[in-house]
């Protein structure tokens, strides 16, 4: 299929396409029901459900420093709920309303938590589970699917704005033209570490204000807290780019060509062409987790595209 997304005229740059949906979109009529489940390591995950007795379930994973209440999450959840699916929008560790209990947080390769959520959902009488992931959540989703331990009930997946090459994307987002995004992410991540250090031993926050890039943050905190040697080791072992060849169910990856977060290595058309299960679409526009459109009953293009792929 040829991507058909056309951006609204007033969103005339990649930055506007990225920022407008995040700040201006309001999604209502999403009556989540919260469930907290324990993890095997004495932590917890907060899940937000939309249930109507369907035999089909969609599990949605959010992006860096996101959560289930973000407009892009609620918009996707509402779309599938209105089209007969049950929906589970889950919050990564430390991304809900309450800080998680362990030193570890979440990261771009934390497929153990996604697997735990899927196993929990399988206790219900579903006949089909599909996955949707945005940005970091898209990377987690693709890595999970490429680890070759996917239960047969998981049938399809769609991902948007995926940093398939984590190192390349971190370097891209740290460029001067992206300082607004990198500063926001870094400020939030630093606050989270400081907050946790106040109630838990094992986090040294001396000099944390001197960290200026996401690579530096990952080198000091993300990597060692999650069992990696350093940031490069973390990026190498967790980039979903290296797992694509092992994916064996139908998967759609949508990365806009003007995404300000993604490096050229996040458009691996040659690698995707070698796996018939994969479809990579690169619309000219869309920004990062953007794809805004109007006069479509409140649907964004990404929601229409995901619904079309998962129901055909």
Q: What span, in angstroms and rounded, lies between the C-alpha atoms of 14 and 177?
A: 11
Q: Which of 39, 33, 106 is nearest to 66 (CA)?
A: 106
Type and span of the H or E element at 236: helix 231-238
Q: Could you tell me the sign of the dihedral formed by the alpha carbons of 132, 110, 94, 164, in that order?
A: negative
> CATH classification of 14-165+240-310, choosing from 3.40.1210.10, 2.60.40.10, 1.20.120.10, 3.40.50.1820?
3.40.50.1820
Query: Beta partners for 56?
Result: 128
Residue labelled with tokens 């959902």: 121
pLDDT digits (tens, 9 = 90+) for 15-50: 999 999 999 999 989 999 999 999 999 999 999 999
Is a pLDDT exceeding 80 seen at residue 197? Answer: yes
Q: Provide the mean pLDDT of the chain.
A: 96
Q: Give pLDDT, residue 97.
A: 87
124 backbone dihedrals φ, ψ, rounded to 5°: -90, 170
Q: Give pLDDT, residue 54.
A: 98
The two structure tokens encoding residue 293: 């459109």
Q: Give pLDDT, residue 94.
A: 93
Q: Give pLDDT, residue 165.
A: 98
Strands 44-50 and 33-38: antiparallel
Share of residues in the chain with pLDDT > 90 (%): 94
Is a pLDDT exceeding 80 seen at residue 296? Answer: no
70 backbone dihedrals φ, ψ, rounded to 5°: -65, 150
Q: Reduce the DSSP state of residue 41 to 3 states and report it.
A: coil
**Residues with Cβ within 8 Å of residue 201, at least 6 apart in sequence:** none
* Mean local confidence (pLDDT), 246-259: 97
Q: Give pLDDT, residue 185.
A: 96
Q: What span, in angstroms and rounded, lies between the C-alpha atoms of 82 and 74?
A: 12
Nearest-5° Cα angle at 9, 269 to 64: 50
Q: Reduce the DSSP state of residue 63 to 3 states and report it.
A: coil
* Mean local confidence (pLDDT), 66-88: 97
Is a pLDDT exceeding 60 seen at residue 1? Answer: no
**Residues with Cβ within 8 Å of residue 148, at least 6 apart in sequence:** 246, 248
Q: Give pLDDT, residue 3.
A: 61
Q: Is the full-model pTM beyond 0.85?
A: yes
Q: Give pLDDT, residue 233.
A: 98
Q: Give pLDDT, residue 2.
A: 53
Q: What span, in angstroms and rounded, lies between the C-alpha atoms of 182 and 122?
A: 37
pLDDT digits (tens, 9 = 90+) for 143-163: 999 998 899 999 999 999 999
């Amino acid at each position: 299929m040829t991507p058909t997304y056309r951006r609204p005229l007033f969103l005339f740059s990649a930055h506007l396409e990225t920022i407008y949906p995040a700040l201006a979109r309001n999604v209502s009529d999403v009556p989540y029901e919260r469930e907290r489940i324990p993890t095997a390591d004495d932590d917890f995950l907060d899940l937000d459900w939309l249930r109507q007795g369907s035999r089909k379930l969609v599990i949605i994973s959010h992006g860096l420093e996101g959560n289930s209440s973000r407009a892009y999450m609620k918009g996707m959840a509402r779309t599938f709920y209105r089209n007969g699916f049950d929906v589970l929008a889950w919050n990564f560790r430390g991304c809900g309303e309450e800080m998680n209990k362990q030193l570890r947080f979440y990261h771009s390769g934390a497929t153990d938590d996604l697997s735990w959520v899927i196993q929990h959902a399988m206790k219900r009488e579903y006949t089909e589970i599909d996955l949707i992931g945005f940005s970091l959540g898209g990377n987690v989703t693709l890595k999970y699917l490429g680890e070759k331990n996917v239960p047969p009930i998981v049938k399809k997946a769609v991902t948007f704005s995926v940093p398939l090459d984590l190192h390349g994307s971190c370097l891209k987002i740290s460029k001067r033209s992206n300082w607004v995004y990198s500063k926001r992410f870094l400020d939030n991540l630093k606050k989270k570490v400081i907050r946790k250090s106040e109630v838990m031993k094992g986090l040294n926050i001396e000099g944390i204000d001197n960290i200026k890039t996401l690579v530096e943050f990952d080198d000091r905190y993300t990597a060692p807290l999650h069992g990696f040697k350093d940031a490069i080791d973390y990026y190498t072992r967790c980039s979903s780019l290296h797992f694509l060849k092992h994916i064996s169910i139908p998967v759609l990856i949508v990365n806009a060509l003007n995404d300000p977060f993604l490096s050229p290595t996040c458009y691996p058309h040659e690698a995707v062409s070698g796996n018939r299960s994969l479809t990579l679409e690169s619309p000219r526009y869309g920004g990062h987790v953007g794809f805004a459109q109007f006069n479509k009953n409140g649907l964004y293009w990404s929601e229409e595209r995901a619904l079309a792929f998962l129901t055909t």
